[in-house]
Structure 1
Amino acid sequence: MIFGRPTPQIVDHDQPQLVMPCYHRIFGDPMDRDFPGAQVAYFAMGCFWGAEKLFWQTDGVLSTAAGYMGGSNRNPTYEETCTGLTGHAETVRVVFDPSKVSYRQLLAVFLENHDPTQGDRQGNDVGSQYRSALFTTSEEQAAAARDALAEFGPKLAVAGYGPITTTVEPAPQWYWAEDYHQQYLDRVPNGYCPVHATGVTCG
């Protein structure tokens, strides 16, 4: 039982990706568009609505999307992910121009705008889908992520926070979230998705 409800049956969806990419509401491009010379990074930092907005507002970012990563099922739905049984984390896909913004600068956005010490939660959002994780696409990203966490941990400790729980993992399969989640806070400007910043900065 989960919260008094029958445990839902979680299945692998063998069909192709359930959600096809659409046009980005902010940038106007197809969300699966290739950008020559661009790089891709994946950030899980709690509710993906607010996290995606942070990144689409960052100079040098070319595209963003909400999706699911890090679980055991293929083509998870939002409802399945929210049970915590699939193991997926709400994740933001960020396509960026490395000549205008570095991965290290994107890591600062990530670290400064959530609490990376809370384990499977962000504030009142509780569950493994809200965990803090960095899904890296290269060894260079993985090294930068580990270095940033090592530098940020002592700063959090001085401010009274516990150990960082953020995981650094090679990027697994990416699954697009349903269309209504994409750029949600542009569709619903007053939608609920608070940023759980600690006030600790990377600078």
Structure 2
Amino acid sequence: MLFRKAAEMPTADTALPGRDTPLATDEVHFVNGRPLKGPYPEGFETAIFGMGCFWGVERKFWQLPGVWVTSVGYSGGITPNPTYEETCTGLTGQTEVVKVVFNPAEISYAELLKTFWEGHDPTQGMRQGNDVGTTYRSAIYYLDADQQAQAEASRDAYQSALTKAGRGEISTEIAPAGAYYYAEGYHQGYLAKNPAGYCGIGGTGVVCPIGVGVEA
């Protein structure tokens, strides 16, 4: 029963109420000192990805050349301004996500998608490895029609590669970006603050064909 409760999305009637006030969080990135909430340089773009536990996911993206700043938060659900403890109940509908602010002149959205697909197993449904529940589901929340088209095309390309490798069906949620709620301060830049901290992120070993002859 606990597994079912954690692995099924709540409804508006069963979701936790949350709160009107945002959670206290860091103001600048722990590694590069740039503002988490902006202002961001003119012409820079934003991407939002869910790949399981956001500690390891954030590190994957902040290490990429062309990524200006990253933050971790909650999105895709019902409960406003949820706490980490609330999301772990499975009763918020939110998933752990990373917001990536990047310079498109240095790194493309397609390259971020490649990192996304190869950096986790997108076939696991409401889990990622040993992390089980709705909060760990795979998700891409797109900011405009171009991101949607690229996300869907990359999914189809990666599914072909996974199928050839004998892997399962992609369960990644691809949906319009809704509200993004910054996670508590101790989660921001977690693996830089705690170098020996837990990271449950691991890919399938299957190469995403974007960048090797296939366009997103």
TM-score by length of 2: 0.88
Taking the TM superposition and a 5 Å limit, the aligned residue runs for 1:1-150 are 2=2, 10-14=16-20, 16-34=21-39, 35-150=41-156
Q: CA deviation at 1:19?
A: 2.5
| Alignment root-mean-square deviation, CA | 1.6
Percent of aligned pairs with the same amino acid: 49
Q: Match for 1:171 among 173, 177, 183?
A: 177
Measured at CA, do residues 9 and 112 of structure 1 come closer, stay the same or move farther in structure 2, by a change above 3 Å?
Answer: closer
Amino acid at match of 1:175: Y
5+ unaligned residues in a row in structure 2: which ranges? 4-13, 210-216
Q: d(CA) in 2 for partners of 1:118 and 1:157?
A: 14
Pairing 1:156–2:159 present: no
Q: d(CA) in 2 for partners of 1:19 and 1:119?
A: 31
Secondary structure in 2 aligned to 1:37? Answer: coil
Q: Which runs of 4+ in 1 moved over 3 A?
A: none
Q: d(CA) in 2 for partners of 1:19 and 1:75?
A: 10
Q: d(CA) in 1 for partners of 2:16 and 2:145?
A: 33
5+ unaligned residues in a row in structure 1: which ranges? none
Amino acid at match of 1:86: T
Measured at CA, do residues 45 and 9 of structure 1 come closer, stay the same or move farther in structure 2, by a change above 3 Å?
Answer: closer
Secondary structure in 1 aligned to 2:153? Answer: helix
